[in-house]
């Protein structure tokens, strides 16, 4: 017969061994699951397709996009005339692409490349932030909803619907401005300094922008409505841009640029004296 004390010790030992094995199994399962989880985080799901939307993955021929398609890092999305699409990432990061757009992403939607056309991007707070790249500007955001348009060799345009963004010239990152909700920044190609953002009629924009009105309500809608109320309380003079699926037309862009104050001095550093050279 085993003494009670010895039986207790043996029982405790068996329990500890069982617990250690259970911990080892959990640890192994976690190690195996991490790469799978990381891979899932980089995928987006197509949540709206209208007319001509095509996907071009690496070393593959373009194919029509379909609802619920999975889209991975590096895939190029192209939209035709009168077409649009929406991608939703884990964590409710949302990207909408307007007509005649060329768009791609990396890092699970945290790095957005807008080669041509207009997008709407919503990045929730506590999501790690994101960067949007046009041919003129790089825009850094965290907890922000924005509209961004890139017209190569012409201009880039940024409109903040809620939150704030830091917009910098791609060639000279030391040249930057902060753009907040209800403001627009239009920068012409070849610019060596940044103009001040201008106040736009955010309420009117939300009622006319196709990237807003032709889709389901945004998860950040309450924050945008709060920004609209802030504008109304301040009584500041507002510009009324006509935002089409591809952004402002040429006449509106020129008017917006002319209405901006004299460019601010650089925040830090100076553009190279030979900046016009390649």
| Confidence bin at 265 (pLDDT 50/70/90) | very low
Domain membership of residue 82 (yes or no) is yes
What pLDDT sits at residue 206? 93
Q: Are residues 252 and 158 in the same domain?
A: yes
Q: Are residues 62 and 200 in the same domain?
A: yes
Number of domains in the chain: 2
Q: What's the pLDDT tens digit per position in 185-209?
A: 999 999 999 999 999 999 999 998 9
Q: Are residues 6 and 105 in the same domain?
A: no
Q: Are residues 169 and 52 in the same domain?
A: yes
What pLDDT sits at residue 261? 41
Domain membership of residue 170 (yes or no) is yes
Q: Are residues 77 and 6 in the same domain?
A: no
pTM of the model: 0.74
* pLDDT at position 245 over 90: no
* pLDDT at position 23 over 80: no
Q: Are residues 94 and 12 in the same domain?
A: no
| Residue 234: both structure tokens together | 């301040």
| Confidence bin at 21 (pLDDT 50/70/90) | low
Domain membership of residue 86 (yes or no) is yes
Q: Which CATH number belongs to the domain containing residue 126 in this structure?
A: 2.60.120.1440
* pLDDT at position 135 over 70: yes
Domain membership of residue 88 (yes or no) is yes
Domain membership of residue 265 (yes or no) is no
Residues spanned by the domain of 29 = 1-41
Contact 241, 203 (CB under 8 A): no
Q: Are residues 36 and 49 in the same domain?
A: no
* Mean pLDDT within 107-122: 90
What pLDDT sits at residue 80? 94
What pLDDT sits at residue 233? 92
What pLDDT sits at residue 242? 57
Contacts of 112 (CB under 8 A, 6+ apart): 95, 103, 104, 105, 119, 121, 130, 131, 132, 133, 148
DSSP of 73-119: TT-EEEE-TT-EEEEE-TTS-EEEE-TT-EEEEEGGGTEEEEEEEEE
* Mean pLDDT within 25-53: 62
Q: Are residues 27 and 150 in the same domain?
A: no
């Amino acid at each position: 017969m085993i003494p009670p004390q010895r039986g207790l010790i043996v029982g405790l030992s068996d329990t500890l061994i069982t617990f250690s094995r259970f911990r080892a199994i959990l640890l192994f399962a976690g190690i195996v699951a991490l790469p799978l989880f990381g891979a899932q985080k980089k995928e987006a799901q197509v949540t709206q397709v209208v007319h001509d939307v095509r996907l071009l993955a690496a070393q593959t021929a373009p194919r029509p996009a379909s609802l619920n398609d999975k889209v991975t890092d590096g895939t190029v999305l192209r939209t035709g005339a009168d077409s649009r699409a929406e991608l939703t990432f884990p964590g409710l990061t949302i990207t909408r692409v307007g007509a005649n757009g060329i768009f791609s992403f990396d890092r699970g939607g945290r790095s957005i490349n807008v080669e041509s056309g207009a997008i709407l991007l919503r990045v929730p707070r506590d999501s790690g932030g994101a960067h949007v790249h046009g041919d003129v500007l790089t825009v850094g955001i965290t907890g922000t909803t924005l509209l961004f348009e890139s017209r190569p060799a012409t201009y880039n345009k940024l409109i903040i619907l809620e939150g704030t963004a830091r917009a910098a010239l791609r060639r000279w990152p030391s040249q930057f401005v902060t753009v907040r909700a209800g403001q627009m920044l239009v920068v012409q190609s070849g610019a060596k300094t940044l103009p001040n953002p201008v106040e736009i009629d955010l309420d009117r924009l939300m009622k006319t922008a196709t990237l807003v009105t032709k889709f389901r309500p945004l998860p950040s809608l309450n924050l945008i409505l709060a920004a609209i109320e802030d504008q109304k309380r301040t009584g500041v003079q507002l510009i009324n841009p006509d935002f089409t699926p591809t952004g402002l037309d040429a006449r509106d862009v020129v008017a917006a640029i002319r209405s901006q104050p004299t460019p601010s001095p650089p925040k830090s550093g100076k553009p190279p004296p030979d900046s016009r050279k390649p």
